[in-house]
Structure 1
């Protein structure tokens, strides 16, 4: 099974996750979920595989979240999934799906649990060190 990333190229967290996967020597399947959203079943499956509740996988900071009233605690998972499929911008990112499991990679370091051990240093695009010169997590 190849590594897959649900990617938004306009998101620094997503770009950093993609760079980290490539740094591990893996060329992932890149799913631009804004253009090609997952099916409702696939979205629910990946959220469950990541060990999340549906509400944890929705992008609450997105303006549309408030406009649609998605912060209403009485909304069911089905209603939230429907909103995420209708408006893929509401899917939090980046999700990484790998043989070792699925994770919402926020913070980025969560992705390290899905990748082979890294031996070379890696820094985010803002310069923050993730893997040090000895191949250890920087924090």
Structure 2
């Protein structure tokens, strides 16, 4: 199964997304993008496939985002892409690509829309909140 996740091991959302992929019985291609960042062309392709804007692909909560003046709405997509290539920490995460599509999986549950195989069993978020029940169904939070 051809599934790729652009993963940050320090990010809880990224770890949960990876766990949801693995809960289908598939071991994805895990790209730790901080150590192995995408090329500009790859990043542009990922963003396009995910159907989001370049600005949505930038991690705006990162301190560097404001320090570089990227919070100015007049900053061009080209400048945002340049910044993400130069400083991969600015790439929002996790991006997942599957045969069914691509998503920026924030929240992690968005990955369920593009996974080709069903969940195989129960799975909780790291904080213990149930995410998938024993029958492999998404738990609806009250």
- Shorter-chain TM-score: which interval? over 0.9
Q: Per-residue deviation at 1:119? A: 4.0
Question: Is 2:78 the counterpart of 1:75?
Answer: no
Partner in structure 1 of residue 48 of structure 2: 48
Partner in structure 2 of residue 99 of structure 1: 99
Partner in structure 2 of residue 126 of structure 1: 127
- Contiguous gaps of at least 5 residues in structure 2: none
What is the RMSD computed on CA atoms of the aligned residues? 1.1
- TM-score by length of structure 1 reads 0.95
Contact 2:130 2:139 (8 Å CA) reproduced: yes
SS in 2 for 1:71: coil
- TM-score by length of structure 2 reads 0.94
Give the aligned length: 139
Q: Tell me the alpha carbon deviations over residues 41-93 of structure 1, each in whole angstroms, 9 at most, x when there is no partner.
A: 11011111111000001000000001001011111111100000000000000
- Contiguous gaps of at least 5 residues in structure 1: none
Question: Is 2:126 the counterpart of 1:136?
Answer: no
Q: Which runs of 4+ in 1 moved over 4 A?
A: none
Alpha-carbon distance in structure 2 between the residues aligned to 1:134 and 1:14:
23
